[in-house]
Amino acid sequence: MTRVAYQGTAGAYSHLACARMFPNGEYLACDDFVGALELVSNGFADRAMIPLENSTAGRVEEIYRLIPATKLYAIAEHFEPVNHCLLVKPGVTLGSIKEVRSHPQALAQCHQRLINLGIRPAAAVDTALSAKLLAESSDSSVGAIASELAAELYGLDIAHENFQDVTGNTTRFLVFSQTQEHIQAIVGVKYITSLLFAVRNIPAALYKALGGFATNGVNMIKLESYMDGGTMEASHFHVDIHGHPNEPAVANALEELQYFAREMRILGSYPAHSYRQRTDFV
């Protein structure tokens, strides 16, 4: 049985993503992302399910600071459609709710809905924990934004399904492991490669470092910068590209990147999730 660590309380969206990707797994709730990654590093879990970004609220900032410090490998990606539910205590009507509690990302994704209803948002540590605490509370003027799974686990009513502002709201997760997978490319499989690098201190360093992707026809999906330790220099970068390092075009682009980069690390290559068929691959 695959043991999968995630950040949050039972019923969190990360828990839901674990259940979708590893339906026969054992799911280990952790207080924070560091704890989830450490369970894998220490061998107590086989995988960690970590949210990287959301189509509405953007990237999960903390993750981009944690990834460079981990020695784990990205072995898969997962896209989870988000169905935010406005949860209330049994028998409570939507009109009675004055305040809604949830994780800041969830509140951001339901911002306009809350404004339209005149409901005050209150930030909490976790979506599912908000649901759990609501179930234990006697305050009928408070609601929570969480998953349908959380409503089921904690015996709450769903006052409003699909409460998010934008239809199609989706969260992308990376799955981390101690060991690298997909080292060899399989013909016919479309891959994503995630890598980290820092540029050398030369003029137009980033432009030169990324030039190899263009000249070799490699599509760059994502470019994120992050701070290096305690400095204010945003000189480190996370890049996602289409392709596998075994492919000649990607190999040539990475060789060119290494020439201009001060350091480079391939975080992992993994098959592209079926969600990408909508837009990324033709």
Annotated catalytic residues are 171, 173
Structure token digits, residue 217:
């026809």
Degrees (nearest 5) of the Cα angle 258, 264, 269? Answer: 105
Q: What is the CA radius of gyration of the chain?
A: 21
Structure token digits, residue 132:
């759990």
**Which position has the token pair 């199609």?**
168
Give the chain as a DSSP string: --EEEEESSTTSHHHHHHHHH-TT-EEEEESSHHHHHHHHHTTS-SEEEEEEEETTTEE-HHHHHHGGG---EEEEEEEEE---EEEE-TT--GGG--EEEE-HHHHHHTHHHHHHHTPEEEE-S-HHHHHHHHHH---TTEEEEE-HHHHHHHT-EEEESS-SSSTT-EEEEEEEESS----SPPTT--EEEEEEEEE-SSTTHHHHHHHHHHHTTPPEEEEEEE--TTS----EEEEEEES-TTSHHHHHHHHHHHHHEEEEEEEEEEEPPGGGGGTT--
- Edge to edge, the sheet with strand 220-226 lists 220-226, 236-242, 191-199, 261-271
The residue type of 203 is P
